[in-house]
Structure 1
Amino acid sequence: MSPRRLPRLGLLLSLLGGTSAGYAQHQQAPPEYRMERAQEDYRYLAADTTTVRPDLFDPVKFIALNPTKTSYLSLGGEVRLQYVRVRHNDWGAGPEDDNGYLLQRYMLHTDWQLGPHVRVFGQLKSGLVAGKAFEPESTEKDQLDLHQAFVDLRTAAGPGQLTLRLGRQEMAYGSSRLISWREAPNVRQTFDGGRLLWHTPALQLDGFVTRPATTKPGVFDDAPNPNVWFWGVYGVKTIRPLGGGLDVYYLGFRNTQARYQQGRAAERRHSVGARWWGAPGSWRYNVEAVYQFGQFGRGAIRAWTASGEFGYAFEALPWRPLLQLRTEYISGDENPESPALQTFNPLFPKGAYFGQAALIGPANLRDIHPVLTLYPTRSNDFTLSIDWDFFWRARRTDGLYSVPYVLSRPGTVAQSAFIGDQLTAELDWQVQRHWELELFMTYFRAGAFLRESGPGQDQTYLSPRVTFRF
């Protein structure tokens, strides 16, 4: 081969997502796609530079709108296909689907950066279900809708920047225990309202007033939930010597149609919490506590949760195993006959709170959860995770809740506290920047409570997933 053609071959391989030896030595990889696509920044493409390896989609990631390139348009999207096969749905209480079904997610966004002070972001979504023998979940189907549409008004960049964000938008904070964009289900969560963001390299302070957008299955029919208001302030302080930081927050929530085991009533709840997290050296830790108070109907709310995640990375061993232990206590109601309520409300948590199968929600629960994660490659593009989770009802006077806090099975004192244990294996292969392959396998062994409260068959969950992003 002619020496002149070698650079062209390297460029072609880079554009297709591969690497060549020559380019790998002198160019860094393009930035990874973010779970919150609005956080991506492609201003590096404005410069005439060869420090970043070219990508096939570079022409649509930065489209200059003026000669100085201070205004630009960026396009992006995602296609995700996921097959789901569940055996003994709802531990035998739900409808069965012998052949499984296919979930499809399609998303497309535009990001208009109009100079240093104005930004307009829009995103469409489509969540489809094929081959399911019974009615899809509300988080599975949304034919076509407006997922995000917001305007940013911001001060000039400096040591700190103040941004006012108005419109429909995603929100996620901390470990996504209370506020999440709900990535695991087929349809993600958004909120309608306003946020005021103050961000510096060491401090982030966000205030917001919103209504959650209700997912409906039709075309452009999603709307703010008329029964719910959600507001709060969330602060994050980075502590670099500890390799982590401290989160402190207040969250307000009002729902005129709240339902727990003790009944249905208007709920006004306040949550105050803190999270301490970091990764000093080989150690990992993530500790969080939340206290809730307020009013449910005629009764007072007094609820709380505390969680801990502790791990150690054995970097010198083959496949660099990360061993973690997670545990948490999430309060349940003491007496369903009393108007007072002690059941914790997890608000808007990540959809796969205890694994992709999402069988149990974070309310009236205590669990212990060892996790082993393996990294066979140095680039961390392939991971294997195995975890075993054991669940009990926190209080036997309260029932079992699904995600996020829908009462799944009422409970009594006469029934066992032990719900069951769940063994999960997850494989994740980031084939290259655009392609990701995943496989989820879960076996849930039903415990005494499930057998005593209704059908209590062991449940299995199998789901391969492929995602393409650009």
Structure 2
Amino acid sequence: MLRCSWSACLLLASGVLTVSLAARAEDAPEPREAPRYESIRYLEDWSDPSLRPGDDPFDRVKYLPLGAQAWLSLGGQHRLRYEFTDGLDGPLPESVLFSRNLLHLDAHVGPARAFLQVGGHYALGAPARDEPPGSDLFDVQQAFLEWRSAPRKVRFVARVGRQELALGSTRWVSTRDGTNVRQAFDLARLTVTGEGWSVEGFGGVVPRLQRGVLDDAPSARNRFWGVYATVEVLPRKRLSFDAFYLGRDRPSVTYGEVEGREVRHMLGVRLFGQTEGGFEYIGHALAQAGTVGGARILAWGLAGGLWQRLPFAPLRLGVRGDALSGDGRADDGRVSTFHAWFPNQTFFSALPLIYPSNLYEVHPLVQWELDAVTLEGGCVFFFRQSVNDAVYTPPGDVLVPPAASDARYTGAQLSLSLGYRVTRHVMFNLEYSHVVAGPALRAVNLQDVDFLGTWTTFTY
């Protein structure tokens, strides 16, 4: 049973009050045809002043002319997130309040661009969360230079510097928006886009996150690179195809009794599309190879989903599933544990308990969408793909050691979520999750878990 303290209730009430006050502050009508705010802020296009008639006071800083073909755009985002978890870390519940504050400056001069985003991330209430990715006092979130060119209907975009990166469905490489500190990379990146296709290649390193001020330095020994291509096979989004290669070099990792430097390569394909009748589909097939210490890597993964929009109600029914390999034997000189380096950790729920490694999972869900309100309910059933491998938790740590249990069934996670877009600038979210511990979790004395999260986001 979820036990919510008076302080937790007050914080929930304050979140609702924040939404009300922000809504009242926005009595002016929304501008017509204004660009929408993107999750990755540098993807927004504010280059056309006619799209901002001036009804929204925040639009006045989205296009500031500096001269011929030169302009400046300013923006930011502030998120207040409260989490209450009972049953995960012991007899005492965890209550934590997160604050994320991002400001950015976007300068354009002809085909050149400079983008800078800084952030302050704070955590109150749980000492274990007062470090990255829960807390980072002040640092550069993104800072890059960009050059654009578009000869003969083909557009080239080159970026160098720290930047966020989301590939495909964000299943394997994402911005990690659910955590307080988002994921960014120090990359050189080239994107080429044509009619119905795009290809991008990148290479660089993963910054080392630290809690202090301006101390998130590039980590030269933690490298990441890849190529990602998308082709629209059939028009009107009926069928598209992705093919990608990703590689990562990490200085030290551990899988059971195997430890050492890891160089891992992943090849993948993705098919996705939708029909005019409201049927949507997506499927991934993945293979991983490489070395860990003196052991070879050979892992595989399958993932997908099916959805159907109902014609008589604003409902969307679906089911998602994963099959990701685990290690069959600890002493055979081979590592078969699939590892997702930068996954969308809220793919299953706002409570990221299980990491996408060594698992079978099936996730039936239903979504209800009506104007500014979205409701979703679902239940994920987790199983180990190999009972000789561990159950993993983010960011890939062992939750249940292989020797602790020979049970395949891990547990089930029920979640209910609400999203309410109060205004163009304000978004309110609420989610409740309950984890029913299966035999694998109970083998290490993990019991049922209750989670309540609420967050209010103000974007401009």
Give the partner amino acid of 2:55. P
- Inter-partner Cα distance in structure 2 for 1:456 and 1:180: 29
Give the partner amino acid of 1:397. N
Q: Matched residue of 1:225: which SS? A: strand
**1:284 is aligned to 2:280:** yes
Give the partner amino acid of 2:448. D
Q: Matched residue of 1:43: which SS? A: coil
- Inter-partner Cα distance in structure 1 for 2:398 and 2:450: 21
Give the partner amino acid of 2:115. F
Corresponding residue for residue 56 of structure 1: 57
Matched-pair contact (CA < 8 Å) for 1:97–1:134: no
Give the partner amino acid of 1:306. L
- Which of 432, 436, 459 pairs up with 2:427? 436
- Report how far residue 16 of structure 1 moved: 2.7
- Inter-partner Cα distance in structure 2 for 1:102 and 1:15: 24
Q: Matched residue of 2:337: which SS? A: coil
Corresponding residue for residue 30 of structure 1: 34
- What is the Cα-based RMSD across aligned positions, in Å? 2.0
Corresponding residue for residue 450 of structure 1: 441
- Inter-partner Cα distance in structure 1 for 2:413 and 2:143: 39
- Inter-partner Cα distance in structure 1 for 2:27 and 2:287: 47
**1:170 is aligned to 2:170:** no
Corresponding residue for residue 77 of structure 2: 78
Deviation per residue, 1:255-299 (Å, 9 max, x gap)? 121122233211111111011111212101111111011111112
**1:329 is aligned to 2:328:** no
Q: What is the correspondence of 1:110-121 to structure 2 with a 5 Å cutoff?
A: 110-115=105-110, 117-121=111-115
Corresponding residue for residue 308 of structure 1: 304
Corresponding residue for residue 243 of structure 2: 248
Matched-pair contact (CA < 8 Å) for 2:129–2:135: no
Deviation per residue, 1:136-185 (Å, 9 max, x gap)? 35211000000111001222465111122101111110111211111111
Change (3 A) 1:120 1:292: same
Matched-pair contact (CA < 8 Å) for 1:97–1:132: no
Give the partner amino acid of 1:85. F
- Which of 440, 454, 458 pairs up with 1:464? 454
- Inter-partner Cα distance in structure 2 for 1:206 and 1:160: 13
| Unaligned 5+ runs, structure 1 | 1-12, 21-26
- Inter-partner Cα distance in structure 2 for 1:78 and 1:158: 37
Q: Matched residue of 2:57: which SS? A: coil
- Report how far residue 106 of structure 1 moved: 0.2
Matched-pair contact (CA < 8 Å) for 1:14–1:54: no
Corresponding residue for residue 65 of structure 1: 66
Change (3 A) 1:135 1:438: closer
- Report how far residue 133 of structure 1 moved: 4.9
- Inter-partner Cα distance in structure 1 for 2:418 and 2:405: 40
Matched-pair contact (CA < 8 Å) for 1:326–1:370: yes
- Which of 16, 26, 30 pairs up with 1:16? 26
**1:96 is aligned to 2:92:** yes
- Inter-partner Cα distance in structure 2 for 1:249 and 1:353: 20
- Report how far residue 329 of structure 1 moved: 0.2
Corresponding residue for residue 24 of structure 1: none
- Report how far residue 324 of structure 1 moved: 0.3
Corresponding residue for residue 402 of structure 1: 393
Deviation per residue, 1:17-50 (Å, 9 max, x gap)? 6649xxxxxx7342220000000011121x4x77
Q: Matched residue of 2:268: which SS? A: strand
Corresponding residue for residue 386 of structure 1: 377
Corresponding residue for residue 192 of structure 2: 198
Larger % of strand: which? 2
Q: Matched residue of 1:256: which SS? A: strand
- Report how far residue 14 of structure 1 moved: 12
Matched-pair contact (CA < 8 Å) for 1:259–1:406: no
Matched-pair contact (CA < 8 Å) for 1:353–1:362: no
- Inter-partner Cα distance in structure 2 for 1:162 and 1:149: 19
Change (3 A) 1:60 1:251: same
Give the partner amino acid of 2:26. L
Corresponding residue for residue 186 of structure 1: 180
Q: Matched residue of 1:38: which SS? A: helix
Number of residue pairs matched? 436
Give the partner amino acid of 1:369. H
Change (3 A) 1:259 1:433: same
Change (3 A) 1:440 1:204: same
Change (3 A) 1:403 1:18: farther
- Report how far residue 456 of structure 1 moved: 2.1
- Report how far residue 112 of structure 1 moved: 0.4
Change (3 A) 1:15 1:131: closer
Corresponding residue for residue 48 of structure 2: 44
Mean Cα deviation higher: 130-139 or 247-256? 130-139
**1:270 is aligned to 2:269:** no
**1:412 is aligned to 2:435:** no
- Inter-partner Cα distance in structure 2 for 1:401 and 1:234: 27
- Report how far residue 408 of structure 1 moved: 2.3
Q: What is the correspondence of 1:113-192 to structure 2 with a 5 Å cutoff?
A: 113-115=108-110, 117-136=111-130, 138-156=132-150, 159-192=153-186
- Report how far residue 351 of structure 1 moved: 2.5
- Inter-partner Cα distance in structure 1 for 2:317 and 2:74: 39
Q: TM-score, normalised by structure 1?
A: 0.89
- Which of 415, 423, 428 pairs up with 1:424? 415
Give the partner amino acid of 1:304. W
Matched-pair contact (CA < 8 Å) for 2:316–2:366: yes
Q: Matched residue of 2:32: which SS? A: coil
Change (3 A) 1:135 1:384: closer
Deviation per residue, 1:206-251 (Å, 9 max, x gap)? 1000111122111111122343111110011123244351111011
- Inter-partner Cα distance in structure 2 for 1:210 and 1:393: 33
Deviation per residue, 1:300-359 (Å, 9 max, x gap)? 111011011001000322xx1100011110100111122210000101111213211000
Percentage of pairs with the same residue: 31
- Inter-partner Cα distance in structure 2 for 1:294 and 1:406: 20
**1:223 is aligned to 2:217:** yes
